Amino acid sequence: MPMLVCTGAQLQCSFGASPSALAVPPAHQVMTGPPAATIMDNIPITNVPPFGMCSTESNPAVAAATAAAGGAMTPVPCMPVLTAPWTPGSPTVMIGNLPALNQTSMLTCSWGGVIQILSPGEFTVQVP
């Protein structure tokens, strides 16, 4: 059974150069130590910080920088564009009427990157 995800969880984007840490506001009032996350904790910068440098040419900024460099791949600072919640989330555990975020959930960036959870931030609470 996967682990419940909370603030401090380590995230990685398939096109990002470095991992980042999930930030969850304590407003959920469910603490496993740090605040527990839901599938709606997907707001860029607020919940999901940038991943260093972005290296996908589907990102217009990367495409422009690469074109300006004569076709040599030129990464630019990452700015995640997230338009949908984490999926799939926990089918049975709810936090404030929203599915809890578990370690198998993923996010998709509009530029094509897949954001995965490397480490859940806590290792004591399992959720389906």
- Please check the confidence at residue 84 and state whether its pLDDT lies above 70: yes
Q: Which pLDDT tens digit goes with each residue over 87-109?
A: 999 999 999 899 999 999 999 99
In this prediction, residue 59 has a pLDDT band, given cuts at 50, 70 and 90, of very high
So what's the pLDDT on residue 69?
95
In this prediction, residue 29 has a pLDDT band, given cuts at 50, 70 and 90, of low
Q: Which pLDDT tens digit goes with each residue over 30-47?
A: 666 789 999 999 999 999
Cβ contacts of 55 within 8 Å, gap of 6 or more:
15, 16, 17, 62, 73, 75
- Please check the confidence at residue 111 and state whether its pLDDT lies above 70: yes
So what's the pLDDT on residue 31?
60
Predicted TM-score (pTM) of this structure: 0.92
